[in-house]
Structure 1
Amino acid sequence: MTTQETPSPAAAPFPPVLTRCADAETCADPSSVMTLFADSDGTADGFTSYRSTFAKGAVGAPAHFHTKATELFFVISGSLQVLVGEEVTVLGAGDFLAVPPHTPHAFAAAPGSEADVLFVFTPGMGRFDYLRLLGRVMRGEADPSEIAESAERFDNHYVDSPAWRAALEASA
């Protein structure tokens, strides 16, 4: 019988990450509270993770895509309406979704529901500044043009989606 040697921590692509809930930064806008857990340091193996709690009827993100990151969604509770490509569906508690790069997607609390969702981006890109910017724009503290100007920096590219517009209009 052979035993394997325990790998050296120096062989890991990044150090272990532990964020205690009590220590996590929170950002809020009129429709959601985001708890920021871990942000990438820009390495190819990094990731970004945060939790968003959406109020009933809250609109999350408009249709957009990422060129580098896969975005992972895990619904902790409630229901999340999502666009993936041109299909709109509802995710419930315990559902998981992985959206690969270049795939248009959007999300909002499902009609009549709140949603509590864990998000992970891999590789990460230091997205916490983007989330902070969104909050400032939604509170009227920053100009919306700053979001468009940050598309490359945060790998967040907005697109038009008639399917998503129709879904939001139907739930209004």
Structure 2
Amino acid sequence: MIQDAHPGAPFRPVLTRHADAETCADPSSVITLLADSDTTADGFTSYRSSFAMGAVGAPAHFHTRASELFFVLSGSLRVLVGEEITTLGAGDFLAVPPHTPHAFAAAPGCEADVLFVFTPGMGRFDYLRLLGRVMRGEADPKEIAESAQRFDNHYVDSPVWRAALAASA
């Protein structure tokens, strides 16, 4: 059993059992919600994404308030950071600071299983649920653009990323 943190700790320990975790599925990925900012005193938000082969992931975007951390559990993830594209493999870690454009997708011909952490926490679970609804055709894509400020997710154009995706299609 997980014991309480010492007095004065910023939040209580967070344990999310795999069997109890909420998932958001769409045709190309399964997102497992692990810990949102409301349970971590805004310390972090974390989720796991399992991308199918050829899954697109996220288009170029940036965050103004949080760093986004990537840890590849298995497979390969193609990532744009600024204007550079690289491929991360199992065991690779990447930290993207605020205001840095980035994008990601399963590497061509690969699946990817990735742990994501945002710090400080950013109440991302409602955004991930919205993405799932849009991908399944249950919500209007305009809702994503309208939520940019609320979820600190600001989309940008990246000719480098568009060209990389077109080349692998």
Query: Could you say whether these structures have the same fold, taking a TM-score greater than 0.5 normalized by the shorter chain as the test?
Result: yes
Output the amino acid matched with 1:29. Answer: D
Of the three residues 67, 70, 74, the one matched with 2:71 is 74
Equivalent residue in structure 1 for 2:44, among 38, 43, 47: 47
Change over 3 Å in CA distance of 1:42–1:162 after alignment to 2: farther
Pairing 1:107–2:104 present: yes
User: Percent identity, aligned pairs only?
Assistant: 87
Which ranges in structure 2 are unaligned for 5 or more consecutive residues?
Answer: none
Label 1:78 to 1:95 Cα distance change in 2 as closer, same or farther (>3 A): same
Distance 1:118 1:81 in 2: 14
What does the per-residue CA deviation read over 1:41-78, in whole Å, with 9 as the maximum and x for residues that have no partner? 28774211000000000000000000001000000000
1:18 corresponds to which of 15, 19, 43: 15
Name the residue aligned to 1:4: none
SS of the equivalent of 1:9 reads coil
Query: In 1, distance between residues paired with 2:39 and 2:146?
Result: 19
* Residue aligned with 2:143, SS: helix
1:86 aligns with 2:89: no
> If the length of structure 2 is used for normalisation, what is the TM-score?
0.94
Name which of structure 1's ranges 154-163 and 36-45 shifts more when overlaid on structure 2: 36-45
- 1:27 counterpart = 2:24: yes
Counterpart AA for 2:44: F
- Mark the runs of 5 or more structure 1 residues left unpaired by the alignment: 1-7
Q: How many residues align?
A: 165
CA root-mean-square deviation: 1.3
Match of 1:134 among 131, 135, 157: 131
> TM-score, normalised to structure 1's length?
0.93
Where 1:88 maps in the other structure, the secondary structure is strand
Q: Which amino acid aligns with 1:163?
A: V
Superposition misfits of 4+ residues, deviation over 4 angstroms: 42-45
In the alignment, which of 130, 135, 153 is matched to residue 150 of structure 2? 153
